[in-house]
Amino acid sequence: MNIVDWNALDAETRNALLQRPAQAQNAERAQAVARIIAQVAQEGDAALKRWTAQLDGCELDALAVPGEAFDVAEASLDVALKKAIADARARIEAFHRAAAPQPVRVETAPGVVCERVLRPVTRVGLYVPAGTAPLPSTALMLGVPAQLAGCREVVLCTPPRADGSVDLAVLYAARLCGIERVFRLGGAQAIAAMALGTESVPRCDKLFGPGNGWVTEAKQQVSAVPGGPAIDMPAGPSEVLVIADADADPCFVAADLLSQAEHGPDSQVLLLTDAREQADAVVAEVERQVARLPRADTARKALSASRVIRVASLAQAVEVSNAYAPEHLILNVADPRALLAQIDSAGSIFLGAWSPESVGDYCSGTNHVLPTYGHARAWSGVSVASFQKQITVQELSGDGLRGIGACAVTLAEAEGLEAHAQAVRLRLAALEATA
């Protein structure tokens, strides 16, 4: 990891320094994804099975995971792992239940009642990756808020292994969230199946879940199709930005950087520090720790596009972080809450030395499906609200319309919309006639 001095750089170099790793072959990948989507639209299950055989090396007779596989998963998993999954689920539920939107009813004027009512998205499709590592935690992060929102139908797709099975922990997590329809599908073909519907996979109203560049590209393409599904957010490779002061333990900082670097070769990690000694110590510690990782090769590839940036102050570190808008932001400083109020853009924030990003990935209770690639400037992570529609309602009495009708007429006339004004005038006249 190279160390650079932020204040020695011009504006153009600073901007380049904060760029995410270029996603290779974007144009080619977009064309390939479009081809997969078109084939799924035309051929349904046949295309899904063909692509699964080609990309996952797995010949499938049926796409759905059989019901008995859930029983096998529950019986086979280690007791400690099952308890960890259940404990994580309970904390995720506690946080998401408390943070869920609530109905609203307000009388905005005498006789004018405005409400907000909540309705679940009817059918949702969840994507749980399993590329280089299966992610039962993602099944929880998506399944729990979907369950709390009351979605009537939840479909989950996760890539199969070569023998046609799927990860047992993913199945167990899905069952804990009440999910019974799981399909052995991965990549762009899984997204196409849930977006378009096939003989086996139902068409979904909204799609959720992280994934690689192929999954992200497929989500964006199907969401642009007329009548296509909504998606949770644009999301790319995982990333973390750490702000550390001179007192931060470089062992902790290095471990946090590596916890994201091991996700994939296109992940990115950044360290911002106002202490030269800290920068040197973290670089040395990263080299020491990465050598012991089972996924060292993956982490090293990610580190090649990562940065250690020396800044003049923690305030400047916050400015740089807001410009980058990281998926995960760790404030490993003596007084992290002093910086919190200045943070404008981040997917999820971790305060202090004892708050590793890993707990947010698994079991603190917040969600780990977060905006990446700078989208945290405008997007938020998945929550119960992501699985709900917020519908406004208004009800006026006759006196209520008398009270605000003239306001509506005046504004309609100002906009040149005579029919709008007339819809109110007719009613006001009828009220006047019966007074």
* 375 in a known ligand binding site: no
* 432 in a known ligand binding site: no
3-state SS, the chain, equals: CCEEEHHHCCHHHHHHHCCCCCCCCHHHHHHHHHHHHHHHHHHCHHHHHHHHHHHHCCCCCCCECCHHHHHHHHHHCCHHHHHHHHHHHHHHHHHHHHHCCCCEEEEEECCEEEEEEEEECCEEEEECCCCCCCCHHHHHHHHHHHHHHCCCEEEEEECCCCCCCCCHHHHHHHHHCCCCEEEECCHHHHHHHHHHCCCCCCCCCEEECCCCHHHHHHHHHHHCCCCCCEECCCCCCCEEEEEECCCCCHHHHHHHHHHHHCCCCCCEEEEEECCHHHHHHHHHHHHHHHCCCCCHHHHHHHHCCCEEEECCCHHHHHHHHHHHCCCEEEEECCCHHHHHCCCCCCCEEEECCCCCHHHHHHCCCCCCCCCCCCHHHCCCCCCHHHHEEEEEEEEECHHHHHHHHHHHHHHHHHCCCHHHHHHHHHHHHHHHHHC
* 368 in a known ligand binding site: no
* 361 in a known ligand binding site: yes
* 78 in a known ligand binding site: no
Phi, psi of 193 (to 5 degrees): -60, -45
* 153 in a known ligand binding site: no
Structure tokens at 388: 């709900």
Angle at the Cα of 384 from the Cα atoms of 380 and 390, rounded to 5 degrees: 90
Phi, psi of 118 (to 5 degrees): -110, 135
* 328 in a known ligand binding site: yes
* 238 in a known ligand binding site: yes
Catalytic center residues:
327-328
* 415 in a known ligand binding site: yes
* 263 in a known ligand binding site: yes
Sorted by sequence, the CB contacts under 8 Å of residue 310 that are 6+ apart come out as 3, 4, 5, 6, 273, 274, 276, 279
Binding residues: 127, 189, 212, 238, 260, 263, 328, 361, 415, 420
Binding residues for substrate: 238, 260, 263, 328, 361, 415, 420
Binding residues for NAD(+): 127, 189, 212
Binding residues for Zn(2+): 260, 263, 361, 420
